[in-house]
Amino acid sequence: MSHQPDHFSVRRVVLPSGKTIEVMLFEQAPARPMSFSATGLHVCPTCASELVHPIAWSEHGRELWEVTLRCPECHAFTTGVHHQTVVEALDIELDRGTDALVADLRRLVEANTEDEIARFAAVLQSDLLLPEDF
Ligand SMILES: [Zn+2]
């Protein structure tokens, strides 16, 4: 007769290959959230870069998330369990970063477009563009 623990649950996990497996989770004491810098998860504890981003995350119990973070500047990795509110604050920072990148991209596209228009106008005024060019 094999010994079976009394308290366990089964969770389906979809692997990156698409295969679905069932994992038995045995009850344990709940993981405690890792105490992170008061500046938030987006700040690297190693180099203080504010560009830290998540590379993996999964639910880790009620209102807890296990998140693996990566710093693009010093290449540090850290995995920890964080409360929902801390992860939501990271999400807000990520949205802010995305907005900043999109705004920079728009400015770059506008600058490039203005430059192309100016060069095209100069070519037209100089009669350097002929029907054979098309
Ligand atoms: Zn760093």
Q: For residue 9, how far is its CA from the centre of ligand 1 (angstroms)?
A: 37
Give the pLDDT mean for 38-58.
89
Question: How distant is the alpha carbon of residue 27 from its chain centre?
Answer: 30
Give the pLDDT mean for 22-36.
54
pLDDT at 18: 74
In the sheet that 77-83 helps form, which strands lie side by side, from edge to edge? 53-59, 64-70, 77-83
* Mean of all residue pLDDT scores within the chain: 81
Q: For residue 70, how far is its CA from the centre of ligand 1 (angstroms)?
A: 8
Q: For residue 50, how far is its CA from the centre of ligand 1 (angstroms)?
A: 8
What are the start-end ranges of the H helices in 1-134?
84-125
> Quick one: tokens of 115?
């430059």
pTM: 0.60
Beta bridge partners of 78: 69
Q: By the 8 A CB rule, do 29 and 22 touch?
A: no
Give which of 17, 101, 14, 15 is closest to 53, Cα–Cα.
101
Quote the CA–CA distance of 126 and 91 in Å, as a whole number: 52
Virtual CA dihedral for 91, 77, 15, 58, nearest 10 degrees? Answer: -40
pLDDT at 65: 92
Q: For residue 37, how far is its CA from the centre of ligand 1 (angstroms)?
A: 13
Q: For residue 81, how far is its CA from the centre of ligand 1 (angstroms)?
A: 19
